[in-house]
Amino acid sequence: MHSALYSQTSDGLSENMTTNYLSPFLFTNTLLPLMTTTSRLPDADVRIVNLTSVVHARPKNPRFDSLEALNASFGDDGMTLYGKLHRLGYTKLATMLYSKELQKRLDADNVPIIVTSPHPGTFLTARKYSFAAEGCNTVVGRFPGGSILIFLMRYLLPPVSQSGDASVFAAASPEVRKRAGEFKGAYLMPVGKITPSSADAQNPQLARELWETSEKQLAALGL
């Protein structure tokens, strides 16, 4: 999810960060005791799939050590393509760091849950159409022929009917359990390809920092 405008919830949290990261963090951690118990049953195969994006690599010098850091707007409260992509990338980086740290903690407790972070791919959804159209108007449209980009995308991008394939692979493919050691904490490109993530997404200090800040902010809300 990428908002047209930077905005905050009534609790003073970034809408983007709340929707893309903090809510899944709270939801998953709340269910974790049940998932842990289930994972130890005979023939169990419990997995956690946190969707991310290639734009996780966009933010530079990220911080997750305070509420102010989580609420970063990247100097843009408006509707520019730059601001949208960086805010989206920031939340997806948080998602990947959370997945890595969660997998690390599960492994330390010998819990056989597999956590993955797949990038679903790029599809021309209705929302993506308007997002891409904006890009044409602000950047590509300045060049000769730029206005035909959307027309070409309709034929070059995969159909929306395939948009769930990456998630289904991560959640249900027998290959993931068969090669659990390789897939645990992995970043996956479509479909099911283990791929190196950005250096920041592999930073254990950032991951711990994010986890601690997330718990602190949710506790302050009584959650």
Look at the block and give the residue holding tokens 């200090």.
205
Cα 117 to chain centroid distance, Å, stands at: 7
pLDDT of residue 212: 98
Contact status, residue 181 vs residue 162, Cβ threshold 8 Å? no
Contact status, residue 45 vs residue 172, Cβ threshold 8 Å? no
Question: 49 forms bridges with which residues in the sheet?
Answer: 116
With 50 as the cut, is the pLDDT of residue 135 above it?
no
16-55 pLDDT per residue, tens: 999 999 999 999 999 999 999 999 999 999 999 999 999 8
User: What pTM did the predictor assign?
Assistant: 0.85
Distance, CA of 171 to CA of 187 (rounded, Å): 13
With 80 as the cut, is the pLDDT of residue 152 above it?
no
- Paired tokens of 114: 């597999």
* Structural domain spans, the chain: 15-113+194-220
Contact status, residue 170 vs residue 47, Cβ threshold 8 Å? yes
Q: Which fold has domain 15-113+194-220?
A: Rossmann fold (3.40.50)
